[in-house]
Structure 1
Amino acid sequence: MASNIKEQIQADLQQAKATGQLKSERIREIVKAAVAQVASELKEGSSEIRSLVKDAVSTVIENLQDKGTEIKEEVTASIEGAIEGINTKRHEAIVKSQSELQRLQAQIDGEEEKIQQEVDVILADISESGQEKTASTKTAIDSAIDAIKNSEEVSLLQKRYAQLQAQLSIVRANLAARYGGRSEEVQNYLDEAKTWYDQARPQAEAIATQVDQKRSQIEDKLGEAGTSLARKERQIKQTLRELLLATADLFKDKEHPEQDKTIVHK
């Protein structure tokens, strides 16, 4: 088994070298394909899989020794390809589970929307029935309805929920890109993050200038990540990392800027 994978990788490397395509991205693809093919026949977590990875990486190193010490990028690519290869089946399972989660999330959102619509109808009925009451009673009813509709607690919960979902999607995109997820998987997470981010954005009003700057930064990074992914650039991992950090900074609690100032100056 070890000799087979070494022979396959070596043959593919030689072919890529002969055609002038021996770039780090191609090395990653060669190792990933070879490892994935063999790993599919092995038990997950077995010592054979670890040996498989070592054999794959060592084969790349042996075939690039003529380049001297300038092989860091190629070695990195071979390690990434090996890791992606052994996790191919797991990522397929993750994509399937994620699709089911999205379906359930859509179902939950639909039920929550029905609840909100029903509450709105009930509140409208109460408001209409209050028109025949005395002025003071009508005022009390309208005030109570406004308090329920404009509940600060509900607004905060909705904002925080959308923020957390946006961050979670970006975390998933980072993990998928780093550990061998397909480009479609990463793109799905980015699209999901943008959807949740758009829901959270209208409610992030505190410290307007600073928030606007962060919003712009995140929108730029979301666009940049999608572009990098489409081109299969290695830069995608760094872009996703920057997006994660920028989102985390934006979603810090900015509700009490004066309190933040006091803490800083202590």
Structure 2
Amino acid sequence: MPNNIKQQIQTDLQQAKETGQLRTERIREIVKSAVSQVASEFKQGSSEIRNLVKDAVSAVIENFQEKGSELKDEVTASIEGALEGINSQRHETIVKTQADIKRLQAQLDGEEEQLQQEVDVILAEIEETNKEKPASTKTAIDSAINAIKDSEEMGLLKKRYAQLQAQLAIVRANMAARYGGRSMEVQDYLNEAKHWYNQARPQAETLATQVGEKRSQLEDKLGEAGTSLARKEYQIKQTLRELLLTAADLFKDKEPADKERETIHK
């Protein structure tokens, strides 16, 4: 099989051409299928794997060499298909690891929520116990409790954490789309990004109008990415890239309070 991979790819390309289905997405699938069938016979990172990729790409180039300088799309599709083919098994391992991470994250979130509830109960009991104290003492206690409950630093940390998780999910969606992830996997990452983005959003309602417009752009890009994915368009990679850039642009903005603190420190 390894010696015949070029022949197999060229045969499949010719058949696709005869049926009028030889688009870049089809080229990518043909190369991916041929390479994945052979890649399992070799060790990851071996010279045989590298030669396999070169042979697969060479087969496409030879089939379209008459296009000359306009060969870029076909070469890109062949390289992407070859990379997806050799990484298919490794990608399955990544998917399993990500599932384990999600499970642990859910467990961690649950434990943190339980901890927060316990703290709220303790603070409420302290507040209730000191109701009969002198007014000045009660005012001091209430002030201390409110300071703990409404910690600006803690709110900012939660927001930044949610923003980071949203960006990370978008990065993973990009990686999955680029290196062989299934459409359902990419959609899961997009849903995860929406979840974390919504976690950060309530604390961002006081942002300036300009930042609000960027936030709207991010929402539009999230929706556009999901729509493109549902239609299985090749354009999904470009849409995901734009989504990542939009998220990075939005999340680098700071709260007005941050700027005020910076001014004070100066």
CA offsets per residue over residues 186-237 of structure 1, 9 Å max, x none?
1111111110000001112454201210110000000111111122222211
List alignment gaps of at least 5 residues for structure 2: none
Q: How far, CA to CA, are the matches of 1:259 and 1:201 in structure 2?
A: 19
The answer for the alignment partner of 1:20 in structure 2 is: 20
TM-score norm. by structure 1 comes to 0.93
The answer for the alignment partner of 1:190 in structure 2 is: 190
Residue 256 of structure 1 and its aligned partner are, at CA, apart by 4.7
The answer for the alignment partner of 2:141 in structure 1 is: 141
Alignment check: 8 A CA contact 1:2 1:55 kept = no
Are 1:44 and 2:44 counterparts?
A: yes
Q: How far, CA to CA, are the matches of 1:10 and 1:60 in structure 2?
A: 7
List alignment gaps of at least 5 residues for structure 1: none
Q: How far, CA to CA, are the matches of 1:25 and 1:203 in structure 2?
A: 42
Q: How far, CA to CA, are the matches of 1:72 and 1:238 in structure 2?
A: 16
Q: How far, CA to CA, are the matches of 1:241 and 1:69 in structure 2?
A: 25
The alignment yields a C-alpha RMSD, in angstroms, of 1.9
Aligned residues: 262
Residue 69 of structure 1 and its aligned partner are, at CA, apart by 4.1
Alignment check: 8 A CA contact 2:32 2:81 kept = yes
SS state of the match for residue 64, structure 1? helix
Alignment check: 8 A CA contact 2:207 2:256 kept = no
Q: How far, CA to CA, are the matches of 2:216 and 2:150 in structure 1?
A: 28
Alignment check: 8 A CA contact 2:174 2:241 kept = yes
Residue 35 of structure 1 and its aligned partner are, at CA, apart by 0.4
The answer for the alignment partner of 2:235 in structure 1 is: 235
Alignment check: 8 A CA contact 1:190 1:222 kept = yes
The ranges of structure 1 where at least 4 consecutive aligned residues each deviate by more than 6 angstroms after the TM superposition are none
Letter matched to residue 16 of structure 1? A
Residue 259 of structure 1 and its aligned partner are, at CA, apart by 5.4
Alignment check: 8 A CA contact 1:215 1:250 kept = yes
Letter matched to residue 179 of structure 1? Y
Residue 67 of structure 1 and its aligned partner are, at CA, apart by 4.1
TM-score norm. by structure 2 comes to 0.93
